[in-house]
């Protein structure tokens, strides 16, 4: 683990790494330092506690936890720390990923976990939310986030301008975006 980190990223299984890598990409984009661990809430509870403790000791300000199926990982992490925990429900064919989403959203009173969308969109949103949490006390990061949002808005305006010029049929057939 790095000496000092901004965020910790923990997944319950190696199979979650391709999705949670979307979080890592966004953390990098914002210049945030991080660590990534695999720790199962059910199979490696002691290892999980050590990962959370190490993240806290390294200065992490937020933890992103990706989990599927029973998705106990974000709640287990939240039970071990006062740091904000953001749960990313992993996509699965079982129960259409709703089991993971409900497990993350439906936490008991006193053990909050923020929940984002299922899968890659959620992984991206988790990193943005982590950056927003950290930006509360980091004006440079806050400026980066403002720039990110402006860039997103401009992309939509550019697409709309193209749609207005080309019309829907040409737009859809020309780019295949829709």
Same domain, 120 and 176: no
Is residue 1 domain-resident? no
Is residue 49 domain-resident? yes
- How far apart are alpha carbons 75 and 26 in whole angstroms? 23
What local confidence, expressed as pLDDT, does residue 59 receive?
98
Same domain, 110 and 39: yes
What local confidence, expressed as pLDDT, does residue 2 receive?
45
Is residue 37 domain-resident? yes
Same domain, 169 and 127: no
What local confidence, expressed as pLDDT, does residue 67 receive?
95
What local confidence, expressed as pLDDT, does residue 23 receive?
98
For 15, the domain range is 7-137
Contacts of 89 (CB under 8 A, 6+ apart): 67, 68, 71, 97, 100, 101, 103, 104, 115, 116, 117, 118, 119, 122
Same domain, 152 and 81: no
- How far apart are alpha carbons 43 and 95 in whole angstroms? 22
- How far apart are alpha carbons 55 and 3 in whole angstroms? 10
Same domain, 35 and 110: yes
For the chain, where are the E strands, in sequence order?
A: 7-11, 34-38, 62-67, 85-89, 114-115
Same domain, 122 and 144: no
| Bridge partner list, 67 | 89
Same domain, 101 and 129: yes
What local confidence, expressed as pLDDT, does residue 178 receive?
57
Helix (H, G, I), strand (E, B) or coil at 63: strand
What local confidence, expressed as pLDDT, does residue 1 receive?
44
Answering whether pTM is above 0.85, one says yes
Contacts of 63 (CB under 8 A, 6+ apart): 7, 8, 9, 10, 52, 55, 77, 81, 83, 84, 85, 86
What local confidence, expressed as pLDDT, does residue 175 receive?
60
What local confidence, expressed as pLDDT, does residue 70 receive?
84
145 contacts 132 by C-beta, under 8 angstroms: yes
Same domain, 130 and 149: no
pLDDT tens, position by position, for the chain (178 residues)? Answer: 448 999 999 999 999 999 999 999 999 999 999 999 999 999 999 999 999 999 999 999 999 999 998 899 999 999 999 999 999 999 988 788 999 999 999 999 999 999 999 999 999 999 999 999 999 999 999 999 999 999 999 999 999 999 999 999 999 888 656 5
Same domain, 109 and 154: no
Helix, strand counts (H, E) of the chain: 6, 5
Is residue 152 domain-resident? yes
Same domain, 131 and 166: no
Is residue 2 domain-resident? no
Same domain, 124 and 38: yes
Same domain, 112 and 159: no
- How far apart are alpha carbons 99 and 92 in whole angstroms? 9
Number of domains in the chain: 2
Is residue 26 domain-resident? yes
What local confidence, expressed as pLDDT, does residue 94 receive?
79
């Amino acid at each position: 683990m790095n000496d000092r980190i901004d965020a910790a990223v923990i997944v319950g299984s190696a199979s979650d790494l391709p999705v949670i890598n979307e979080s890592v990409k966004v953390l990098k984009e914002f210049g945030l330092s991080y660590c990534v661990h695999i720790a199962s809430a059910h199979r490696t509870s002691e290892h999980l506690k050590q990962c959370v403790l190490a993240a806290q000791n390294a200065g992490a300000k937020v933890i992103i936890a990706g989990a599927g199926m029973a998705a106990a990982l974000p709640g287990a992490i939240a039970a071990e720390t006062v740091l904000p925990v953001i749960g990313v429900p992993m996509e699965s064919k079982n129960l259409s990923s709703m089991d993971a989403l409900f497990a993350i959203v439906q936490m008991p009173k006193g053990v909050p976990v923020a929940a984002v969308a299922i899968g890659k969109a959620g992984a991206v949103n988790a990193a943005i939310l982590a950056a927003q949490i950290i930006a509360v006390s980091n004006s440079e990061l806050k400026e980066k986030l403002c720039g990110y949002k402006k860039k997103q808005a401009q992309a939509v305006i550019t697409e709309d301008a193209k749609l207005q010029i080309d019309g829907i049929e040409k737009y859809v057939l020309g780019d295949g975006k829709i």
